Amino acid sequence: MYGLVNRAIRDLITTRFGDDAWHHIKQRAGIEVEIFILNESYPDEMTYDLVSASVEELGIPRTEMLRMFGEFWALDTASGPYGALITACGTTLESFLIHLPNLHTRASMMFPNLDAPRFEFEPTGKNQGKLHYITPRHGLTDFIIGIVTGVAKFYGSPCEVQPLELKSDGADHDVLEISWPDAA
């Protein structure tokens, strides 16, 4: 994964839990990198190790940690230099979900070795739909749920996300049901 991901983990930890927590997490994960370069690729295992060390150090369940990180990632990205990638997908949560595949197409121009997941959104009714999350990676579904929740907050449209089908249960990819209220 790119340094952008690992730096966001660092930013979440230092913002919510302090610099000492980050130092302990890095030590626990056996990470010696001082500065993650945003557009440099790092082994996926490094990211998984940082998440595992965060769970152990902070005593937060993995599901909660990944969702917290996903939400932080979405809101931090939306307010930072990559926010244009999100706003280019539209002005509502639904338009974002429909145009999500375009986001990774644009991101791959900035990150040439990007091994991005594939997303397909299937509207199923008013203010609801199924998000298909297709990736060879394992264990990041809760991160994606957090991202969707964060993007919904960015658009001022809180949402509910429920897993319908999971790779961890034998499905070939994850399917998440997303619903949100009418805009005020």
pLDDT digits (tens, 9 = 90+) for 75-127: 987 777 667 777 888 889 999 999 988 776 666 656 666 667 889 999 999 99
Burial classification of residue 30, based on how many CB atoms lie within 10 Å of its CB (0-12 exposed, 13-18 middle, 19 or more buried): exposed
The fraction of the chain above a pLDDT of 70, given in percent, is: 91
pLDDT, residue 163, reads 97
Domain range summary for the chain, segments of one domain joined by +:
3-60, 91-179
pLDDT, residue 83, reads 73
**Res. 182 pLDDT band, cuts 50 70 90:** confident
Rounded-to-integer distance, Cα 179 and Cα 161, Å: 7
The DSSP H or E segment spanning 118 is: strand 118-125
May I ask the CATH architecture of the domain 91-179?
Alpha-Beta Complex (3.90)
Rounded-to-integer distance, Cα 126 and Cα 136, Å: 31
pTM summary value: 0.91
pLDDT mean over 142-154: 95
